[in-house]
Structure 1
Amino acid sequence: MKAEQTPLSWDTPGLLAGVDEAGRGPLMGPVVAAAVILDELNPIKGLADSKKLTPQRREALYDEIRAKALCCSIALATAEEIDRLNILQATMLAMRRAVESLRLKPNKVLVDGNRLPTLAIVSEAVIGGDAIVPAISAASILAKVYRDRWCAEFHLEYPQYGFASHKGYSTAEHLAALREHGACPQHRRSFAPVAEVLR
């Protein structure tokens, strides 16, 4: 009996873009989204969910993705936009900006998770997509590395918060710094731990 592979729902002809984000959970800074169209003739080994890679491996893959992908785009929604829209809508905005900034127009967009931004292109949400769809894995790496670099740069301006180490997440160190120094311009005022110190 001949075995047949069931085609996946995202197996469509034409250019495929993967989209993912980084930075929904932190108390500060932008949420970053990336969109990537990989080149099937120039494969990249070792793509995986960015959270499962070491920082050094992410950095190396970031450069390789930028060099080998057919095209890629990184976009963000600012802390101010997050406060104005809410984190979900700001994430969708960043994703839409990333897709719309691609140099090539994809035939289909696959987005990690269970929500989709409003796009004028056929799109599909893929739960756990950063682990099973290479283009989404690549997007997750670009978004994560870009945001981590952003945090490291912003740390130089506000070293008292420790952004370079915790990347804005709600760690004990970060919360203690918030209580001691108050909020900086990049803190998300709509997030409860930040709102508490502003009362």
Structure 2
Amino acid sequence: MKQPTVGVFALQGDVREHLQVLDGLGVRAIGVRRAAELDRCDALVLPGGESTTMAKLARTFDLLEPIRKRLADGMPTLGTCAGMILLADRIEDGVAGQETLGGLDVTVRRNAFGRQVDSFEGDIAFEGLDRPVHAVFIRAPWVEQVGKGVEVLARVADGEAAGRIVAVRERHLLATSFHPEWGGDDRVHRLLVDLIPD
């Protein structure tokens, strides 16, 4: 089997950290800033960052529609933090006129856990993984509602946000509220790579 290429949306956000994790999994990892780079990808990561800025830059660099088309065509994609917001079909507390790429039948609340000072980390159980994932939440969203075809992969276990949905999957799309690229655990990225057809 040929070595798959996994792109990381590279116009804004935690690009380097995702590229490092993907390199460690033995795939060809590239930054995606142009449609020609997207064309080379078998899968895509939409990283954490600032979701409104990312959407505007995607439009400016003529990437918004090409990514939407690839998502609709079934390209495996992982959205983390702001990337989860970009994948969502619906947003709560969004900025007026905020665009998303869509494709994931969920309603996501922006900055649901609060401001930067409310950032936190902890271990959460993750469906299909043998041990908890160490999750880092920074101005993170959470999922308010899921559509019929969406599988809930993780919820916050305790505290004020107990029960809130923080990881989901719908067919070829994965999304987490937290940053799986931090902390040396590559299992969430491996789930993405495993979705790439042989």
TM superposition score normalised by structure 1: 0.25
- Point out the structure with the larger helix share: 1
- Point out the structure with the larger strand share: 2
Q: Which protein, 1 or 2, shows the higher relative CO under an 8 Å CA cutoff with sep ≥ 6?
A: 1
TM superposition score normalised by structure 2: 0.25
Which protein shows a greater Rg?
Answer: 1
